[in-house]
């Protein structure tokens, strides 16, 4: 259960989530500082206080709620890293770009796709009460707006759900498949 931070903009691309000039690091750390950099800071590096992610007096929580087609554009996994590193664990939108959805799931960040109508209700709820609570139940695949009691079921690949619940790792699994991959290669020759 958590309150949520709303960014009610459609087509938020990965260049907005983390601009290219911050992709120069060679280790996976610290990207959260530059999450939504150009929306959070002016050209002169002044904080833009009313951007919801900056408005900590009003908004808090580990759920990010955003408009349709979230995460479109570049494949940079840094976008998922930045959102996770900042402290979010769930992103809610009415539509996600494919690569972003995959990258999020590979990094313990849960993308929840809700209907456009429910998304709009969620924004309304947050608008009425910026600390309104939402409950995410991964095991049962539901998200609930505690204020209205409304709930929606969301889809998630069964394998990725197991991974998120149990902290499994794709690379470990694939390494165990190496003999099978060798057989495949031999068959194709």
Exposure string (b/e) for 42-66, b if CB count within 10 Å is 16 or more?
eeeeeeeeeebbbeeeebebbbbbb
CA–CA gap between residue 53 and residue 40 (Å, rounded): 7
Output 1 or 174, the one with its CB closest to other proteins. Answer: 174
Output 74 or 125, the one with its CB closest to other proteins. Answer: 74
Six token digits for residue 9 = 């903009």
CB-based contact 111:104 (threshold 8 Å): yes
Binding positions for other proteins, rule: CB under 8 A: 8-11, 13, 15-16, 19-21, 23-28, 38, 43, 67-69, 72-78, 80, 95, 97-99, 102-103, 106-107, 157-159, 170-172, 174-175, 177-178, 180-181, 184-185
Neighbours of 25 (CB within 10 A): 12
Output 50 or 185, the one with its CB closest to other proteins. Answer: 185
Beta carbon of residue 151, minimum distance to other proteins (angstroms, whole number) = 24
Output 26 or 140, the one with its CB closest to other proteins. Answer: 26
Beta carbon of residue 107, minimum distance to other proteins (angstroms, whole number) = 7
């Amino acid at each position: 259960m958590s309150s949520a931070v709303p960014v009610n903009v459609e087509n938020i691309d990965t260049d907005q989530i983390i601009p290219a000039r911050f992709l120069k690091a060679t280790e996976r750390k610290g990207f959260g500082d530059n999450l939504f950099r150009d929306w959070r800071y002016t050209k002169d590096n002044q904080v833009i206080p009313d951007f919801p992610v900056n408005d900590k007096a009003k908004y808090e929580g580990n759920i990010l709620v955003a408009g349709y087609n979230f995460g479109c554009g570049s494949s940079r996994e840094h976008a998922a890293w930045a959102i996770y590193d900042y402290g979010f664990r769930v992103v809610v939108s009415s539509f996600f770009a494919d690569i972003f959805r995959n990258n999020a799931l590979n990094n313990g960040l849960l993308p929840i796709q809700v209907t456009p109508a429910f998304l709009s209700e969620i924004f309304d709820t947050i608008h009425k009460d910026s600390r309104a609570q939402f409950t995410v139940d991964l095991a049962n695949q539901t998200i609930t707006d505690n204020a209205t009691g409304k709930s929606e079921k969301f889809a998630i690949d069964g394998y990725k759900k197991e991974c998120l619940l149990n902290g499994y790792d794709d690379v470990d699994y694939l390494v165990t498949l190496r003999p099978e991959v060798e057989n495949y290669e031999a068959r194709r020759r």
